[in-house]
Structure 1
Amino acid sequence: MKFAVSLNMERFSPDDSMSNVRDKLLMLARVADAGGFETLWTAEHHTIECTISPNPFTVLTWLAQHTERIRLGTATIVAPYWSPIRLAGEAAMCDHLTNGRLEFGIARGAYQYEFDRMAGGMPQQEGVAYMKELVPAVRKLWQGDYAHEGHYWKFPLATSVPKPLQQPHPPIWVATRDPASFDWAVGIGANILSTPLSAPPSEVSVLGEKFRKALADHPEQPRPRFMMLRRTCVYDRPEDWQTAVRHSVDHGRYFENLMQNIGTVHNGFPEAVPYETVTNRANYDPKALRENLMFGTPDEVIRKLQIYEDEGVDQFCLGLSFNLPFELQMKTLRLFADEVMPHFADRDGERASDTALNAAAAGV
């Protein structure tokens, strides 16, 4: 199992300057790169200060100039906000400007607050149909001349300019929790991005079963990769769990505002909705969050990660952007790189050695 990190610029007060959040993101990205994380993922969002990324390709191009090895991914592009021609060209250009490090992640979109402003008030659930038309069109534009007659977009013969550096194209990832989208993504040869949100560890197994079902239903496709994201905080002292949980609870109330469109937003800053109005209060229970999310000392985190490995997760992604104090984000990256990742690297080495020995024995 490999490891990634999800990072975004985020402001929760106008007193925090854009230059400050920009510099913090860069520092975290450099630490992740040096620490051996496989991929850095960043989101697309509009009109909200808690996730500042109107074009993730711009952010990734900038980060590429300051990192060496880490892959750079969109988690995620929001399908209804793009046209196929523009998306194909922007992604391909980003692939060149990152020297072939782009990972292309896409989703239907989430926040109804955004859909009301970016997609004419369309219900967010309808975004999946846009995604299913958009991705094949983008892939064909990357290949060469292509004319499109679809439900949402129509254009005469055109092509992506430029073409991607990676051939035949950057890895495609589809974000989903829905069985139908699992099936569709695997069927077109895409990788899977998913998250159990704040649900108990049993939800990891539920998502793993959806992945295995899609694989079984598409034996014609090579096995794609499977990434799973959880909010993560690693600390030295066990009692520090309370800080991580408090920030997770507070951020969840901002999420409820934007997802359900039930709160107010002032000049880009969403208000945290009252606890009494949240849709599932069980998701805010401090003890449950402590156990469900990837919060803990290095030893606790290693224990929690076992279920992800058992469920076939290829890449676990640390979700750090939930208004966690910068010092804790930095500590999390360093502790994870120094004390958690080596455990799994050693296990991978042992498996490779066992495989080689078994092959040699079979040959004898």
Structure 2
Amino acid sequence: MKVGVYFDMRNPERWRREPAELYGAFPELCEVAEHVGLDSIWATEHHGFDDDYLPAPLTLLAAAAARTRRVRLGTGVVVAPLHSAATLAEQASVVDLLSGGRLDLGLGAGYRPPEFALHGADLSTRYRENDARAREIRALWVSRSVTPSPVQDRLPIWMGYLGPKGARRAGRLGEFLLSPDARNWEPYREGLIDGGHDPGSARMGGGIQAWVSDDPERDWPVVSQHLAEQVNSYRRHNRMGAPFTPVDPEKLRARRPEGHTSLDYFVFGTPAEVADFVLSFTAGAPVDTVYFWAGLPGMTATQFAANVQRIGTELAPLLRAKGRP
């Protein structure tokens, strides 16, 4: 099993840093990730968050491409309906060229009305448009209607669907599924068969909501504050200003995934405890890559670096030893 880290570049007011300093630290953190043996670096997209959530993941990954030589670089996800297929195909090709063929393009449907309004996109057709982007991008690369072409003959496209309906959509497209939840394997497999694709081509992967600590009880008071900031930011912007109940980190920590969203659970424990959860969560499915937050909103570059190193040196070896090759 391959292991990576995930960035969203949030900069909450409580711990606000100069944006140039926050972004300036990113290339060095990518070097740390590669140095400690991690397999991938992922970035994501949102617009209009009051904590400056990353709006341009492919641009950020171009910087990672220039400072690394081995790790794969992924979008987890680009909100595809907000962008034309040609724009995504061109930008992805450039990052793939800069990285020497290391890009994984994750596409997601999005869900926030203000983002769709900002980009003049139609929220009601987002799932159909997301699927269409995958087909259109493939067609543009094959026909060379956009240039330059990516390095990879078939650049991996991952469909960012977290539930069974989306898993079937990903399967029918014949693309990879950006969900590490083994419960999605059967609908994904069914979709592959429905679409005339070989189930043996299936690949699943994605983000795990977890944090590794050598001493969980010592570290929880600090981690819980930043975790609350992360989850409350999602809740606040999802509700678009409507009243919401702030998360109780203790309750979130005690919860295990029942639904299919990334906010359903948070695993906090030793490397062995987190590895056991991941292996159970992915068991029986063709999950070959997982990634974890490089840091939580408001953490310092030093805290990010320490967490990336801990994932690379303590957690990743456990997952590689027991996970799917």
**TM-score (norm: length of structure 2):** 0.85
Equivalent residue in structure 1 for 2:272, among 299, 321, 324? 299
Question: 2:183 matched to 1:166?
Answer: no
Distance 1:50 1:140 in 2: 36
Would the alpha carbon gap of residues 126 and 322 (structure 1) be closer, same or farther in structure 2, given more than 3 Å must change? Answer: farther
Residue matched to 2:178: 193
Residue matched to 2:288: 314
Give the superposed CA RMSD.
2.6
Would the alpha carbon gap of residues 29 and 57 (structure 1) be closer, same or farther in structure 2, given more than 3 Å must change? Answer: same
Residue matched to 1:289: 253
Distance 1:216 1:308 in 2: 24
Residue matched to 2:131: 132
Would the alpha carbon gap of residues 15 and 187 (structure 1) be closer, same or farther in structure 2, given more than 3 Å must change? Answer: closer
Gaps of 5+ in 1: 146-158, 196-203, 264-272, 353-364
Partner of 1:99, secondary structure, is coil
Would the alpha carbon gap of residues 321 and 218 (structure 1) be closer, same or farther in structure 2, given more than 3 Å must change? Answer: farther
Letter in 2 for 1:306: L
Would the alpha carbon gap of residues 244 and 325 (structure 1) be closer, same or farther in structure 2, given more than 3 Å must change? Answer: same
Q: How many residues align?
A: 311
Residue matched to 1:229: 207
Residue matched to 1:178: 163
Would the alpha carbon gap of residues 137 and 242 (structure 1) be closer, same or farther in structure 2, given more than 3 Å must change? Answer: same
Question: 2:297 matched to 1:333?
Answer: no
What does the per-residue CA deviation read over 1:130-159, in whole Å, with 9 as the maximum and x for residues that have no partner?
1122211111110116xxxxxxxxxxxxx0
Distance 1:12 1:339 in 2: 29
Distance 1:287 1:192 in 2: 29
Equivalent residue in structure 2 for 1:323, among 272, 297, 305? 297
1:97-136 paired onto structure 2 within 5 Å? 97-119=98-120, 122-123=122-123, 126-136=125-135
Would the alpha carbon gap of residues 308 and 37 (structure 1) be closer, same or farther in structure 2, given more than 3 Å must change? Answer: farther
Q: Identity over aligned residues, as a percent?
A: 25
1:10-25 paired onto structure 2 within 5 Å? 10-13=10-13, 15-25=16-26
- 2:189–2:202 contact (8 Å) kept in structure 1: no
Distance 2:48 2:204 in 1: 30
Higher relative contact order (CA 8 A, sep 6+): 2
Question: 2:247 matched to 1:261?
Answer: no
Residue matched to 1:78: 79
What does the per-residue CA deviation read over 1:315-338, in whole Å, with 9 as the maximum and x for residues that have no partner?
111024531523443222222221
Would the alpha carbon gap of residues 210 and 141 (structure 1) be closer, same or farther in structure 2, given more than 3 Å must change? Answer: same
What does the per-residue CA deviation read over 1:167-190, in whole Å, with 9 as the maximum and x for residues that have no partner?
1x3111110023232122122221
Letter in 2 for 1:193: L
What does the per-residue CA deviation read over 1:276-324, in whole Å, with 9 as the maximum and x for residues that have no partner?
xx6xx6xx45144255423212222222222134142221110245315
Distance 1:285 1:84 in 2: 39
Distance 2:223 2:45 in 1: 24
Letter in 1 for 2:215: R
Letter in 2 for 1:139: R
Q: CA deviation at 1:31?
A: 1.4
